Chain A
Amino acid sequence: MVRKPTPRSTKSSEIVLRAEALRPTIDLAKQVYQQLLDGEIPRMRLPLRTKQNITFQMREGVWRLGRAMGTRSARKQDGALMLLRTFCLVDFINEMAAENKTSTLRELYYISEGWKDGKFHSEDESNLLIEDLEVLCERLREDFRLHPEENGASVIGDLTLRERNRKGLVKTFNCRDDVGDGGYALPFNVEKEKIEFVKTGAKFIIAIECGGMVDRLAENGFDEENEALLLHLKGQPARSTRRFLKRLNEELKLPVVVFTDGDPWSFRIFASVAYGAIKTAHISHYLATPAAEFLGVTPSDIETYDLPSDKLTEQDVRALQAELTDPRFQTAEWRSEIELMLKNGKKAEQQSLAKYGLNYVTEKYLPEKLSDMGILTR
């Protein structure tokens, strides 16, 4: 199965390792060459990345890619183009390896301008293809020297870590005492060779959807008072954010709660953190934190705390209905919450708690919820 990414360093012994990482891409090219030689229409078989094709893995506690396969064939224009792009991409990756370079996803999108008919028309297209290549070669995109830009997710709280910076210098600092108000910004590479956890005084992690709520909790001193780490997810969390959270949970044995808006899209944020995202189901075991728990805002919170709410839009309703057929939400709790939201037709933001004053969230809502979940004792 998928191996851990090989370290980003320039030691000569590791270049061999990296060449090894690229071998599957060449194997793909050989496979298509053989098809052409045999007079067959070029094609590749890939596991389908759909919500119908994810299965729950007992051992890892996450949802992973199932066995259903699709065929990408040059018989149709879309398929032929994706095959062409695949080999343009493989070619480019091998060129980068020869020159010992890396590229951001966005740069790759622009590089493709020179690929004639293989050029990408959107960044979604290039990102999808990279994921396809990850699945096909059982490697991570970092192995292909492709990485995202830093996305600005951050952590605040009593966590001491050691980071090897761009210049190769190792620095040790505390994510509460040694950083500014914005907290410690996560790099795209959060693997051990980059970041080591030294120690922490925190008892649990609270992962938060919106920056405004992170600021509120920090200003109210919630992290210090309750010995918590605040992790800003920044909407749908990037791979590095999810990986970082998983490492905190597993290596420091810290419980994780997820605090989001109360709407259908936030439920998906939680699902991708805890269960594994559909698009990256091939690496759920590497990204998902099955121990994470949903704190709120739940549809019943909207009622219990009488929160200011908005009406569900048509897209919201469609998203909720899609969740009812999503295997990840097939628990009694989720079904009843989703059905409740559909019934009431209401959604609410995290910050709607400010209705009762700025301290309400830290003095009333979170303590109540966290003690219900057994994380805090009152």
Chain B
Amino acid sequence: MPGAQSLAQQLAAKQREISVAEFFERNRQILGFDNPLRAVLTTVKEAVDNALDACEEARVLPEILVEISKEGPDRLKVAVGDNGPGIVKKQIPNVFARLLYGSRFHANRQSRGQQGIGISAAVLYAALTTARPTRITSKVPEEEAAHVVELLIDTQKNAPRVLSDELELWDRPQGTRVELVLKARYTRGRQSPFDYLKNTAIVNPHARIVLLEPDGTRITWERATTEVPPVPKEVPPHPYGLELGELGSRLKASSRATLGETLSKEFAGVTPRALRDIFARGHFSGKEAPDSLHSEDLERLLAVLHEVPLLPPSAESLSPIGPLLIKRGLRNVLGEIRPEFFAPPVSRPPKVRGGNPFVVEIGLVYGGGLPADQPMQLLRFANRVPLLFQQGACAITTAVGNLDWRRYGLDQKGGSGLPIGPCLLLVHLASTKVPFTSEAKEAVAEDPEIDKELTLSLQVVARHLRTHLSRRSRRDMAGEKFLIIQRILPQLAEKASRLAGKPVPDLTAVITKIMDVVAFEATAVAAANAGESALALEVTNYTPRPRVLELFLEMPLEAAASLHAEPAPDGTDAELGRAWWTLEKLPPSGRVKLLLRFPKAQEVEPGDLDWFVAGVDEAHLLGAEPLPGDWEVRLPRAIVEAAEGSGAEAAMSEGEPEVDYDGAEAHASLDEE
């Protein structure tokens, strides 16, 4: 028909590139700019994540300054500066003003940012809500001056529009500062920049972070270590994680001569032996040109790659925080609430899911200023980035809720969900590819492999918590006895003796009968040499008879390797982290002291050491446990005999059962005169 357009032509007229502005408008929520409160958090988060990544790559200790100030009603100026390597002038516009531009998307290693959306989305949001350009100052160490660039995003072309570009002298050797004016509102509280930076400080103990709030408040999170975490290595993809399309394109792009060479050099885990296996099972010669394989061949190759046993993916692409730094980070940031217990953090060996290595790390803090009647505080992290939203939809939350915490001493309604108690839990998932539930990267998606690792590590920290709680209740009981022997008994003896007209007798025998425990108390003491940590163990025989004690210590492996003790242990087993002593005969009320020293790097605390004693019943031990049977230690004869004797002694001291006059049931109700 003349003049009439075909449907295809009609549609073609409507088909055009979607502008980034439109894309942004439709995806505000995913990008984290759906309201003024959230906009400031997302802006800070993207800028700080970039800054930390840049500093780590450059091997510098991050100094991050976040300044937030008011620029009129509903408007904030957000400036984030770092001491990273700087960005060369040519790249500044692309990094900040082009969506989906970045250096890390293609790298197969752990990093905070990935897609290259974050900071440019903030630039775009700023322009859309205030029409103000973003100002970037950046200096690389090779150049004398810093470049100051003001730019906007051309929303039609998804391209930077540079408004001005000047040189400026800067008082620091290198770094980057980004300054944006945007429609936003600032409060402190949950899901605020404050919360985000505080949690960031916990898992990045090597960073020093300063926040200037709009009202002028300045908060500093000092660094807790001067070690920069190792840069995760880029590793070739592991066949376990591959899908067909990617396998094809990788083979096509290969410059190697043969399939065999390509598989062993450009993929991880493929050993010569595995290679032979792959070729035999898949009927390949190995001499094929890598780009000669077509669909059926590719499918067959992928199938055998998934069958054949390969080396597990390397963990070098990951940067776990590690137990020591998790503890330091928690202590550094939570120190003011004075928790009574930091569980030894768990950092599991790397595991694989879909070809991507991952690591689960967990830290737990109990007591102090944490609220006892509230659900546990759960801090979730992925690749060292705090996850502040979508807690309920996160696989980490599910795993925590699925554990029956009642078995470990916390309240939990019906044995599932977040437990109630003065408890804070840190869970870090590090992976070359964290499976998020959405592009907003707020929650980890369910995955059986990750869930298994989460559950195992949660059980380990929960067991530490249970041990702590049971020791505490025994200490409380002992505390009652110490109150008796240290305060009540001396006053009682003084009064009774005076009324009887006699001098106060020696109370040693009475004291040992009341206590009837051998007490072990480990305390941190001032180190003789700077840079060491020193601990003292005081052993007091509060029992009515002399004791020869066989004492065993179990400690972290690193600590065992560098232990110095006075007196020297009678034996050690560095592999198992153990040392043991036979103490000289301790008379009733006798006391002996052990001094332990460790190099500074170990930071050993009393809570890191477990003490065991052979031959003494649990009821007569305070601050130590009976030696577990599975230690298979051959004990000296004297100890064995003592252990056999102690049962009889316990039975004898029981005597005839007595009714406790001051027990709850003994008294008549008080409603009678």
> Could you say which of A5-13, A34-42, A137-145 contacts chain B?
A34-42
A272 at the interface (CB under 8 A from B): yes
Q: Chain A residues with Cβ under 8 A from B666's Cβ?
A: 48-50, 70
Are A46 and B661 in touch, CB under 8 angstroms?
yes
Residues in A24-42 with C-beta less than 8 Å from chain B: 25-26, 29-30, 32-33, 36-37, 39-42
Q: Given A41-B513, A87-B499, A124-B670, A71–B491 Cβ distance below 8 Å? A: no
Indicate if the CB atoms of A279 and B495 lie closer than 8 Å.
no
A277's closest neighbor in chain B, by CB?
B672
Whether A77 lies near B488 (C-beta < 8 A) is: yes
Min CB distance A246 to B, Å, is: 14
Closest chain A residue, CB of each to CB of B480: A77
Chain A contacts with B in 116-149, Cβ cutoff 8 A = 116-118, 124, 128
* A47-62 at interface with B (beta carbon < 8 Å): 48-51
Interface string of A272-291 (1 = CB under 8 A from B): 10000111100000000000
- Decide yes or no whether B507 CB sits under 8 A from chain A: yes
Q: Do A79 and B662 touch across chains, with their CB atoms under 8 A apart?
A: yes
| Residue B90 interfacial (CB < 8 Å) | no
Residues B499 and A94 in contact, CB atoms below 8 Å apart: yes
Instruction: Give every chain B residue within 8 A of A117 (Cβ-Cβ).
Output: 487-488, 491
Can you list 6 pairs linking A and B with CB atoms under 8 Å apart?
Answer: A36-B507, A69-B659, A70-B666, A79-B661, A88-B495, A272-B672
- CB-CB contacts below 8 Å: B53-110 with A: none
- B317 CB to nearest chain A CB (Å): 58
Q: Kindly state whether residue B493 has any CB partner on chain A within 8 Å.
A: yes
Count, A-B residue pairs, CB within 8 A:
144
Cβ-defined contact, B495 with A51, below 8 A: no
Contacts of B672 in A (CB 8 A): 236, 268, 272, 277-280
Question: Which chain B positions have C-beta within 8 A of A26?
Answer: 499-500
Indicate whether A42 sits within 8 Å of B662 (C-beta atoms), given known contacts A74-B514, A278-B672, A280-B673. Answer: no
Q: A48-B661, A74-B492, A87-B496 are in contact. List 17 more A-B contacts (CB 8 A).
A: A33-B496, A33-B500, A36-B504, A40-B510, A41-B513, A42-B492, A42-B510, A48-B666, A50-B667, A70-B660, A76-B660, A77-B483, A80-B492, A94-B499, A242-B673, A277-B672, A277-B673
B61 to chain A, nearest CB (A): 53
* Interface assignment of A14: CB less than 8 Å from any CB of chain B: no
Contact of A72 among B495, B499, B514, B661 (CB under 8 A): B661
Q: Please, what's the 1-or-0 string for B479-501, where 1 marks a CB less than 8 Å from any CB in chain A?
A: 01101100111011101111110
Q: Is B668 interfacial (CB-CB < 8 Å)?
A: yes
A238–B667 contact, CB under 8 A? no
Cα separation A297 to B131 with both chains bound (whole Å): 89
B contact residues vs A (CB 8 Å cutoff)? 480-481, 483-484, 487-489, 491-493, 495-500, 502, 504-505, 507-510, 513-514, 544, 658-663, 665-673
Give Cα A69 to B658, complex, Å: 9
Residues of A within 8 A of B487 (CB): 117
Are B496 and A42 closer than 8 Å at their CB atoms?
A: yes
Let me know if A68 and B659 touch, CB within 8 A: yes
The answer to whether A70 touches B491 (Cβ under 8 A) is no
Q: Is the CB of B492 within 8 A of A83?
A: yes
The yes or no answer to A265 lying at the interface (CB within 8 A) is yes
Residues of B within 8 A of A30 (CB): 499-500
Chain A residues with a Cβ closer than 8 Å to the other chain, count? 58
Least Cβ–Cβ distance between B649 and chain A, in angstroms: 16
Contacts of B500 in A (CB 8 A): 26, 29-30, 33
Nearest 9 A/B pairs, CB to CB = A39-B509, A70-B661, A29-B499, A87-B495, A278-B668, A33-B500, A78-B662, A70-B659, A72-B661
Q: Which residues of A contact B484 (CB under 8 A)?
A: 74-77, 80
Tell yes or no: A73 within 8 A of B by CB: yes
B661 touching A84, Cβ below 8 Å: no
A186 adjacent to chain B (CB < 8 Å): no
A81 at the interface (CB under 8 A from B): yes
- Known contacts: A79-B662, A82-B662, A236-B673. The answer to whether A91 contacts B499 by CB under 8 A is yes
Bound CA span A41–B669, Å: 29
Whether the Cβ atoms of A74 and B673 lie closer than 8 Å is no
Chain A residues, CB < 8 A from B659: 48, 68-71
In the complex, the answer to whether A39 meets B661 with C-beta atoms within 8 Å is: no
Which residues from A are CB-within-8-Å of B670?
124, 279
Residue of B with least CB distance to A75: B514
* From B489, B663, B668, contact of A74 by CB (8 A): B489
Is the CB–CB distance between A279 and B497 below 8 Å?
A: no
Cβ of A346 under 8 Å from chain B: no
Instruction: Report the separation of the CA atoms of residues A151 and B671 in the bound assembly, to the nearest whole angstrom.
Output: 16
Looking at the assembled complex, report how far the CB atom of B479 sits from the nearest CB atom of chain A, in whole angstroms: 10
Which residues from A are CB-within-8-Å of B671?
236, 265, 268
Contact present for B502 and A33 (CB under 8 Å): yes
CB proximity of B208 to chain A, nearest CB, Å: 49
What residues of chain A lie closer than 8 Å to B480, measured between beta carbons?
A: 76-77
User: Considering the chains assembled together, what is the distance between the CA atoms of A72 and B496 in angstroms?
Assistant: 15
Q: Give min CB distance, B505 to chain A, whole Å.
A: 5
Q: Is A237 an interface residue (CB 8 A)?
A: yes
Is A90 an interface residue when CB atoms closer than 8 A count as contact? yes
Q: What residue of chain A has the Cβ atom nearest to residue B513's Cβ?
A: A41
Q: Contact at B488–A84, with CB atoms within 8 Å?
A: yes
A268 to chain B, nearest CB (A): 6
Residues of B within 8 A of A82 (CB): 661-662
A237-B661 in contact (CB<8A): no
In A76-119, which residues have CB < 8 Å from any B CB?
76-84, 87-88, 90-91, 94, 116-118
Question: In the docked arrangement, what's the CA distance between A69 and B495, Å?
Answer: 25
Q: What residues of A have a CB within 8 angstroms of the CB of B498 in the complex?
A: 91
* Contact residue among A36, A49, A76, A116 (Cβ-Cβ distance under 8 Å from B493): A36
A72→B662 contact, CB < 8 A: yes
Neighbouring B residues of A71 by C-beta, 8 Å: 658-661
Q: Does A232 contact B (CB under 8 A)?
A: no
* Chain B proximity of A79: nearest CB distance (Å): 5
Query: Is A239 an interface residue when CB atoms closer than 8 A count as contact?
Result: yes
State in angstroms the CA–CA spacing of A51 and B667 once bound together: 9
A42 CB to closest chain B CB, in angstroms?
Answer: 6
- C-alpha gap A95/B663 in the complex (Å): 31
* Complexed CA–CA distance, A74 and B661 (Å): 11
CB of A80 within 8 A of CB of B488, answer yes
Closest partner residue, chain B, to A241 (CB atom)? B673
Are B495 and A84 in touch, CB under 8 angstroms? yes
Check A238/B673 contact, CB under 8 A, given A30-B500, A33-B502, A74-B484: yes
What's the nearest-Cβ distance from chain B to residue A18, in Å? Answer: 17
Task: Give every chain A residue within 8 A of B489 (Cβ-Cβ).
Answer: 42, 74, 80
Which residues of chain A are within 8 angstroms of B668 by Cβ–Cβ distance? 49-51, 277-279
**A26-B499, A50-B666, A50-B667 known; A33+B491 contact, CB < 8 A:** no
Asked if A39 and B513 sit within 8 Å, CB to CB, the answer is yes
In the complex the two chains form, is A29's CB within 8 Å of B495's CB? yes
Whether A32 lies near B491 (C-beta < 8 A) is no
The residues of A that contact B496 with a CB separation of less than 8 Å are 29, 32-33, 36, 42, 87
Q: Which residues of A contact B513 (CB under 8 A)?
A: 39-41
Cβ-defined partner of B505 (8 Å) among A37, A78, A118: A37
Scoring B495, B502, B544, B667 by chain A CB atoms within 10 A of each residue's CB, the highest score goes to: B495
CA distance A78 to B660 in the complex (A): 10
Are B510 and A39 in contact, CB atoms less than 8 angstroms apart? Answer: yes
CB nearest neighbor in B for A127: B670
A36 surroundings in chain B (CB, below 8 A): 493, 496-497, 504-505, 507, 510
How near does chain B come to A235, taking the closest CB pair, in angstroms?
9
Of the candidates B487, B499, B504, B666, the one having the most CB atoms from chain A within 10 angstroms of its own CB is B499
Smallest Cβ distance from B666 to chain A, in angstroms? Answer: 6
The minimal Cβ–Cβ distance linking A376 to chain B, given in whole angstroms, is 30
